[in-house]
Structure 1
Amino acid sequence: MMSDNRGKLLKRFYNLHRKNLSLKIIKVSLAYLIVSVMWNFIFQLMNLPYSRADLPTLLLSVLVLLFIVAVNRFYGISPMVLKHVVLSYIMFVVCCLYFASGYKEAWTFFLMIPLISALYGKLQTMLIYSGIGLLLMMLVSAYYPLYDHMIFDSIDISNRLLIYLIIATISYILLEQLIRLYHNQVNIILESTDSTIEQVVKSFIVSIEAKDAYTFGHSERVSRYAVELAKLLPEFQQKGRLKSMRLAGLLHDIGKINIPESVLSKPDKLTDEEYELVKTHPVIGGRMVEKISSLDSLKDGVLYHHERWDGRGYPSGLAGEEIPLDARILAMADAFDAMTSSRAYREALPVSEAFKRIREGRGTQFDPNLVDCLDVLQVAWLRIHKQSQNEMQEFETMTDLF
């Protein structure tokens, strides 16, 4: 879940960054071009020897930019397309300035291309546009040296190439720093969000389970059992998947908030109507978590944790591998904790009996591949069960009040 959220958040950051950067480049370019046009126009109007610029070329650059602004304003160019439009325009302006500036160092305008392309924070973008800019610089320098009396030889080419590569390298360092900054920001946000979500989830679960003293701590234990089982599976080797499994375990019974306390703690056998009411809690829980963007990936585990391998479970009667893996793991962890915990209507079963019944449910109630992990898993589950016997310690662990 964290990995998915991280990708989404980074994508959102980059899109916002691209859009804002493109708009700022457009504004700055327009301001500088207008000032340049006015500056050179006044000098030429007053016949002062301070300008060699070609005003028509500068005006053409302004008109093209105004056209881009108008199209973006009325039609709304996407951030990705706008980025390429702006960078293509920068190369166009650089070529215009090369021919219109009227001074021998005009080739240095090309050095802006790697710098500006690096600001977008994408290595591929920088490499492509820096490469195109380098080719343009060498071509116009070789075929249009501006002054016929100037000597332009291989030394000039190598020097310009060297300076361009130095600027491109500096731009790459700038790009890496920008990427690292974004990744650090995203990590800080996600870590803070994960911590907040887990604390809120724990507080919520405590308030629900406090309605029934017999099931207090059930969600925390199921979560721990589920994580230990998930650790043995190749699908859960990523840290983010285990975090999702932990939260799914904590929230698997959240739908019981809709069940009356009199039903949850009833010491006698439930009536058919009461049982049907209890069976609605996975659906309600699934609807609750899917409405929270940071928890919507937990829906499968919450919704289907009462399905059975043989298709006789609820709420959808899924069978075999139709049942999401998260739900199959939770089903086994949930059943183990239910059997080894005291309830209003019965005493807890011995741990050995619970393990026996899970093995008996192989291929009927539980995923046979998961049951086969029980020999390796047994030690970890016994440790968790033993730790959970101290109710005060469990309460402190869940609420972090002490």
Structure 2
Amino acid sequence: MSEAATLTRKADFPGLVTEVGKPWHYLDTAASAQKPQVVVDAMSRALGRDYATVHRGVYGRSARMTLGYEAARRRVADFIGARSENEVVFVRGATEAINLVAAAWGMTRIGQGDRIILSTLEHHSNIVPWQMLAERTGAEIEVCPLTADGQIDLGGLEALLSPRTKLVALAHVSNVLGSVLDARRAAELAHSVGAKILLDGCQAAPRMKLDMAALDCDFYVFSGHKLYGPTGIGVLWAREDILAHMPPYQGGGAMIEKVAFDGTTYAPPPQRFEAGTPMITEAIALHAAIDYVDAFGPDRLFAHEAALAAQLRAELRKLNAVTLFGPEESAGIVSFALDGVHPHDLGTILDEEHVAIRAGHHCAQPLMEHLGVPATTRASFGLYSDEDDIAALMRGIERTRRIFG
């Protein structure tokens, strides 16, 4: 049996079973990953027998929960190669992380006539916050083109850069095409004109080795639920010297040193950016998810999902009625169109076959316009995916072709 079929046990994931007890072929991991039982158990314990608030209580359980919460921060720092846990800010997800950077860094560093460079393939969460910032400050948005096979064109990026460029914000891995950015080269280009670079790592964090020093970026964001953890938690990483000069994003408890009516002083990062009661149980469950994923090794994860993507592309290429999008080598994500069948119709029929895919614009409408389609069908793999999932998908596609034939 191939490596692609043996990476992990599907039995570790209670969600991979239908309501009637049949296997569920889940090919929507790019949207949100299924959770291993160890994550479910960690969250259950944290919500139940171990639960207490953090940072404020003087009683034993609160102290233990505080230790668990901060241990999760240290685990994240280790997982991404951060120099210090003080560079790790817990947020609700990558969307909030990007909005935090736009509000706390962008509003103080970007002004009239400055330029922000994005790419054609960005998720809406890495477009709209920068548009809102540009509207407030008078900055301009510039769009980096793609290569013919759907990669961010770094030659095009270099041509756009100027002394007016203040920020470059790019997806490390495309959520639609699976194309992988040469992030280190992108950072070199941004820094060559004194700009900062933010990387959207939502699709990279679950399937690639991360090393903030090696990437040499300034901001990195990802969501816990795509990393086999719970919803409601994500991570903003930024260099400590950058965080130290950013004002608070929100005000409230936990992010202060002293509050008085004649003035308030703020806690140092990361607490400065974590106003209110934090996502305690979610952080502890994210710790469990990282332990589970990291045990496989990032190189194996990437190879496993890339092999499945290549196999699926090969199977789809046998059908004359299929258009494939994106590069031949992708990070476990395959987007395609079936002639004469709307992706939503295909998704509905596949659901009847217990196959779950994503159909739509995938929060990437500018990319859909670039591709010349209203929507695509996207199959995305996880560490629990195997060749049986591909076979089930292909059976569903054949049934759909017969129905619409």
Task: Provide the TM-score with structure 2 as the length reference.
Answer: 0.21
Of Structure 1 and Structure 2, which has the larger fraction of its residues in helix? 1
Q: Which has the higher contact order (CA 8 A, sep 6+)?
A: 2
Task: Provide the TM-score with structure 1 as the length reference.
Answer: 0.21
Decide which structure has the larger Cα Rg and report it. 1
